[in-house]
Structures are given as C-alpha cells and as structure tokens.
Amino acid sequence: MTATVPPGWWKLPPEIWLSIFDHATTVPQALDTHPQDPFDLPPPSSGKQVQKKVYDSLVTKRYLVRVCKDWYELASRFLYREILIGRGRTLLSLRSTLLDSRRRAEESPAQAEGTKFTPSLGRYTLRFELATRTHTNLKDTTPSSELETLIAIFYCLPNL
C-alpha cells in the first residue's frame, strides 16, 4: 500500500499563510480612528455595520484556529486583533486567557537558542470594544471588581 502525498498547499511558507489569513479576516474601517466624511464615495459604513462585519469575521477566525496546531499558531494573532465584548460574563474568561498568555510569554525561554518565542496574545490587539448595555451583573462581583477585571485586561493590551 502506498501513502498518498498531500497536495502542495501545506508547503506554503508561513508568510504566505499570514497574508491569506489577513485578507480573509480583515474588516475595512474596523481599525479607523478618524471621523468619517459622510460625503465620501463610496459612503463609509456605519458603526453598526462595521461591528457586524467584525462579528462575522470572528466566525472565520475561530474556524482558522481550529484547523490544526500550525494554523492555531499562525491565526491566533488575528483572533485577538479586534476584541468585542458583548456580554459581561466574557470578561472573566478574556482576563484569564490574556493573563495566562502574558505569563507564558514572560516565562518562555525566548532567549535560549533553538526555541520558538511565543508572544502574548494581547500584543496583537488593536481594537477593544465594550458593548454591554448596562453593568455586567456578574455573580458575586461588585462594580469595583469589574473595573479591576477591565484594568487587568488593559494591562495585557499594550498596543491599544
């Protein structure tokens, strides 16, 4: 029995994959910080339209990181590029993920020869949006503890 040779797509260098993932997940105007001119042609998307596109893009990002370990390493940066919090209960898991990632990055033997540096996931974040309507109503939390959670999250996001 002969083994089948996989197609050549898996031999692409990481730089090509990063470019493909970037094109597949980028949302135009998502990272714009300047006011939009309403007379531009074509007219700029509204904030709600951009937010919906970011949410739709998140689905693609979640699928990319689930394909294999290599794609997880490559696509994680895109998963955390824009963070939108729609429900307060996701704050705690986001804080935990970002703090763990930061700790692993600080503890990783980045200086040792032959080892792979793993940066903190928060280094990739360029947009953070807290879109809850009211306070988060987390069980056993106070407004001050919710603020402490947000402070811990912002501590992990150096590029905002």
Pick from 99, 97, 109, 95: which is nearest to 147 by CA?
95
Provide the residue-wise pLDDT of the chain in tens; the chain has 160 residues.
Answer: 555 655 655 678 889 988 888 888 877 665 555 666 666 656 556 667 777 777 778 888 888 888 888 888 888 888 888 888 876 778 888 899 999 989 888 877 655 555 566 788 899 988 887 876 555 555 666 778 888 888 999 999 998 8
Cα angle value 151/72/84 (rounded, 5°): 35
Q: Are 65 and 76 in contact (CB under 8 A)?
A: yes
- Calculate the CA 149 to chain-centre distance: 18
- Residue 130 DSSP code: E
DSSP annotation string for 80-97: TTEEEE-STTHHHHHHHH
Both tokens of 70, joined, read 């290599």
Report residue 92 as tokens.
């705690």
Q: Which residue has the tokens 């997940």?
A: 25
Residue in 85, 86, 105 with CA at minimum distance from that of residue 95: 85
**For residues 12, 13, 19 and 21, what is the CA-based torsion angle, rounded to 10 degrees?**
60
The domain ranges of the chain are: 13-27+42-79, 89-107+117-160
Query: Which amino acid does the sequence have at 33?
Result: T
CB-based contact 77:124 (threshold 8 Å)? yes
What is the pTM for the complete model shown? 0.71
Contact 75, 26 (CB under 8 A): no
